Amino acid sequence: MKKFFAILAIALISASATFAQTDSLPAAAAQMTLQATSSEPEALWESANAAYNAGEWDKALTNYKIIADKGLESAPLYYNMANAYFKKSELARAILYYHRALRLAPADEDIRHNLEYAEQSTRDVIEEIPEFFLTSWMRSVRNTMSGNAWTILSLVVLVMTLAAALVYLLAQRLSLRKVGFYIMVACGVLFVASTSFAISSRNEAVKQSEAVVMSSSVSIKSSPDRAATELFVLHEGTTVVVGEQIDGWVEVRIADGRKGWIEEERIERI
């Protein structure tokens, strides 16, 4: 039994250390990035925002792109780029960057609203296949926070679970042991859920299984060949799910379930 208590204590300390490291790393990394690149990103950001506020979309986008090319991506950066492209009537790129911004900040209602508004301007009217209500509900819950927030929550709940387990095992009074047990079970369930949401959010952010049609109009073929039968036509701004790739061609699926082949150069992955 003493060995069991020792293992629990070590796990609790390890979880606390993991939480502290996870919470501090982003700030440290950001500080190192700024030191390595001096004040250039900040100056570019301020210059881009000034041009954006003045309605100088091309100038703003030039500076935003320089920042993005340095690997300093963020939801506000992609959101501003999307807005600038929308103002320039470049619908496909606007939708592309709204999607990228939303992946980094899934709970941001402004990004989601602007994406939906931009998608209403596309030529293709596609009726989506109804999604199973439980899947839709779980996705909506997951999108209430970012992946990092779910990760932090899962670590906090893990610490609480271990602490409650110690109370349950060590407390002398029966009432305290009951409280510890119920808290341990509740926190354990919450830990599993928050960890699942954190992993799901992470996978959603890094996956490249979706893309946006960039060409004004493109034929979707029955096979990866220009001479193949045309199945249907898509227009700029339509979001597709990417599948198999063969010799510069990509199999895509649209929201109503239809599939076909498109030249890879006609799309850009989110």
Q: Choose among 73, 79, 80, 77: nearest CA to 55.
A: 80
pLDDT for residue 38 is more than 80:
no
pLDDT for residue 56 is more than 50:
yes
pLDDT for residue 208: 66
| pLDDT digit string, tens, across residues 9-27 | 444 433 333 333 333 222 2
Q: What is the mean pLDDT of residues 109-131?
A: 91
pLDDT for residue 130: 77
pTM strictly above 0.75: no
Q: 248 in the Ramachandran plot: left (φ > 0), alpha (ψ -120 to 50) or beta? A: left
CATH number for the region 210-269 comes to 2.30.30.40
Lowest mean pLDDT, pick from 2-11, 200-209, 223-232: 2-11
| pLDDT digit string, tens, across residues 222-245 | 999 999 999 999 999 999 999 999
| pLDDT digit string, tens, across residues 144-185 | 888 888 999 999 999 999 999 999 999 989 999 999 999 999
pLDDT for residue 151: 92
Sequence spans of domains, the chain: 39-119, 133-206, 210-269
CB 232 within 8 A of CB 258: yes
pLDDT for residue 269: 94
% of residues, the chain, pLDDT over 90: 67
Q: Is 193 exposed, middle or buried (0-12, 13-18, 19+ CB in 10 A)?
A: middle
CATH number for the region 39-119 comes to 1.25.40.10
What stretches of the chain show up as alpha helix (H) in DSSP? 2-37, 40-53, 57-69, 75-87, 91-104, 109-119, 133-142, 147-170, 174-206
Cα distance between residue 23 and residue 156, in whole Å: 11
